[in-house]
Amino acid sequence: MASRHDVAALQLTGESTEARLDRLRRVHGPSILRFLTYRVGANDADDLLQNVFIKLTREIARNQIRESDVQGWLITVAQNEARDFWRRTATAARYAQEFTHQLDHRAAAAASVEDQVIRSARLERLLARLSDEERGLLILRYVDGMTVEEIAAETGTTFATAKGRLSRIIAKLRESAEAMEAS
């Protein structure tokens, strides 16, 4: 906070606020620019320097800063601007990464649905090549989740017969699938 003495001294020198800002830019601008260039790189340092001096302009207009405090104040504000820059940059990068991940996930999900539809249509064609009895045994085993023992009891056959039929049906499906792939 500027004291009445500082304000009075400024008025006594006859220096206008605009002239004071120009002088402070000439005196402190190059060192603050070097500091910001070191912190964020040359491409963004000029923009941040502008932000620092805009804040200085507001502080001077409100008589909130003494001449002796300007250098330290400018360094502090420049450090904060550099930190905010990196936070914004990191946040933007994180959002871009999350967005890319979401797009990848959606593309994979769409491809997965398409693959499921293709597999479903292929399975439907394969099952159409089986007899009603063969489809019934597969339904008992893979849809209803029955064990081979339960299927044998349901169909009135032995365990070995039920297991053999299921094995032959699976082999027949494999052969049909390979024939479909080849054609």
Taking the C-alpha atoms of residue 63 and residue 56, their distance in angstroms, rounded to an integer, is 10
- Report the Cα 103 to chain-centroid distance in Å: 9
Residue 149: which residues within 8 A CB-CB, separation 6 or more? 159, 162
Angle 107-142-134 from CA coordinates, rounded to 5°: 115
- Report the Cα 74 to chain-centroid distance in Å: 35
The domain limits of the chain are 4-96, 129-182
- Over its length of 183 residues, how does the chain's per-residue pLDDT go in tens digits? 344 434 434 443 467 778 888 888 899 999 999 988 888 888 889 999 999 989 888 888 777 677 778 888 898 999 988 888 888 877 777 767 777 777 677 766 666 767 777 777 888 888 888 888 888 898 888 888 899 999 999 899 999 999 999 999 988 888 888 888 887
Contact call for residues 74 and 33 (beta carbons, < 8 A): no
pLDDT at 4: 44
pTM, rounded to two decimals: 0.45
Return the residue matching tokens 């090549």. 129
Q: In terms of C-beta density within 10 A (0-12 exposed, 13-18 middle, 19 or more buried), how is residue 3 classed?
A: exposed
What would the DSSP string read from start to end of 145-183?
Answer: ---HHHHHHHHT--HHHHHHHHHHHHHHHHHHHHHHHH-
CATH class of the domain comprising 4-96: mainly alpha
**Hey, what are 175's tokens?**
């052969």
Considering the four listed CATH numbers 1.20.1260.10, 1.20.120.140, 1.10.10.10, 3.40.50.1370, the one that applies to the domain covering 129-182 is 1.10.10.10
